[in-house]
């Protein structure tokens, strides 16, 4: 996949453990294809490889970035075969043949409210990201247990990701590493998508205290929202969000990073977003309807934060050409349905 005039070779990987369930490589492929179809883009890249990097330490993830090879690829849950091998590449291409023709959102996925205020990201940065692609780049998404491990001062940092120990996206531009956290940005974008105006002081009921919870607390409060903390397996430490903690029985959005369980006393009071995406069955219509159940599937958060990777770190020069949350979700569901038909 390529587009534009000045081309960069991009090597993409998602690193952590486990990663066999990740659909992020599929999302990268779909967004790159979408951009390739757009007109008037002056800079671009070629996705040279997609990788699942099973790693327990950030050093292993960065080592892959320099070597760009994996000795023994792991099996991908969506195809039950080694990721990066012929069968996986062929099936992803089959999925992309379908998404190439999808130019409109599923009718159920249209934005609930386009008139609310939108938060501005990135929220904080002491550096200005170069708005062009270099000859060779490394893009990495980090997941458990790596998000809190990167604290090097040699990394150009956005959204205070190193300070709050929550890094989930990296970019090597040929000269240095750039980092950010977009988990929380994705939660804010989901809230906006479903009609919640975070900038006006909306309340987030937050359960958990890990890296994703810290990223969410940071983005939500920096955007103007308030947070209500509920005790869970991990407690949220003090941070830039501390002055925005409130005691309230009401909330606009609840997210539980610790488990799938929602305490009974919080049911029916506001929107509930899961940070985890579940396996899906059925045809496209059934899958789309499942995404709009009372407890919103983690694909909404994943799609929203994935788009922020592109906007903030990987290709901010192409921000006006990126798909909307609803269009990317529509494409993703079609792609997943294609993959399911071959397993």
pLDDT for res 293: 82
| CATH number for region 9-182+303-340 | 3.40.50.10860
Q: Which residues contact 225 (CB under 8 A, 6 or more apart)?
A: 188, 198, 199, 201, 202, 203, 204, 244
pLDDT for res 3: 40
| CATH number for region 184-299 | 3.40.50.720
What digits encode the pLDDT tens for the residues 139-159? 999 999 999 988 766 688 877
Distance CA 108, CA 111 (A): 9
Instruction: Give burial (CB, 10 Å; 0-12/13-18/19+) of 39.
Output: exposed
Q: What is the mean pLDDT of residues 228-247?
A: 93
The more confident residue out of 287 and 7 is 287
Cα atoms in the 13 Å half-sphere on the side-chain side of 241: 29
Q: What is the mean pLDDT of residues 82-100?
A: 94
**Does the pTM exceed 0.85?**
yes
Q: Where are the domains of the chain?
A: 9-182+303-340, 184-299
Distances from the Cα of 82 to the Cαs of 2, 47, 142, in angstroms? 25, 19, 20
pLDDT, averaged across the chain:
89
Q: What is the mean pLDDT of residues 117-138?
A: 75
Q: Give the percent of the chain with pLDDT over 90.
A: 65
Distance CA 57, CA 54 (A): 9
Residue whose structure tokens are 């983690």: 298
**Pairing relation of β-strands 75-76 and 81-82?**
antiparallel
pLDDT for res 2: 41
184-299 shares the fold of 9-182+303-340: yes
Per-residue pLDDT band for 116 (boundaries 50, 70, 90) equals confident
């Amino acid at each position: 996949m390529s587009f534009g005039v000045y081309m960069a070779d991009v090597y993409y990987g998602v690193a952590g453990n486990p990663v066999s369930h990740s659909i992020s490589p599929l999302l990268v492929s779909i967004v790159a294809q979408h951009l390739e179809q757009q007109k008037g883009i002056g800079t671009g890249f070629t996705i040279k490889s997609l990788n699942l990097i099973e790693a327990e330490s950030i050093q292993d993830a960065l080592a892959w970035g320099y070597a760009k090879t994996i000795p023994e690829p792991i099996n991908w849950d969506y195809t039950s075969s080694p990721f990066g091998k012929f069968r996986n590449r062929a099936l992803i291409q089959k999925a992309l043949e379908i998404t190439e023709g999808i130019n409109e959102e599923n009718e159920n996925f249209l934005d609930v409210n386009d008139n609310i205020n939108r938060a501005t990201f990135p929220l904080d940065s002491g550096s200005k990201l170069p708005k062009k692609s270099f000859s060779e780049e490394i893009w990495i998404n980090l997941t458990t247990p790596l998000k809190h491990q990167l604290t090097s001062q040699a990394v150009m940092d956005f959204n205070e990701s190193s300070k709050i120990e929550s890094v989930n996206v990296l970019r090597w531009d040929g000269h240095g590493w750039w980092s950010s956290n977009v988990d929380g940005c994705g939660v804010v974008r989901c809230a906006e998508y479903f009609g919640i105006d975070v900038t006006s002081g909306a309340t987030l009921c937050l359960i958990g205290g890990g890296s994703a919870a810290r990223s969410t607390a940071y983005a939500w409060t920096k955007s103007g929202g308030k947070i209500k903390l509920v005790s869970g397996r991990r407690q949220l430490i003090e941070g830039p969000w501390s002055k925005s903690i409130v005691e309230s029985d009401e909330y606009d959005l609840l997210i539980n990073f610790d488990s799938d369980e929602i305490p009974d006393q919080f049911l029916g009071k506001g929107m509930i977003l899961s940070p985890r995406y579940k396996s899906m069955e059925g045809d496209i219509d059934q899958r789309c309807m499942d995404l709009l159940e009372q407890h919103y599937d983690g694909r909404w958060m994943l799609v929203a934060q994935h788009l922020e990777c592109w906007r903030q770190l990987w290709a901010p020069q192409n921000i006006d050409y990126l798909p909307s949350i609803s269009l990317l979700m529509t494409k993703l569901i079609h792609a997943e349905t294609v993959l399911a038909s071959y397993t």
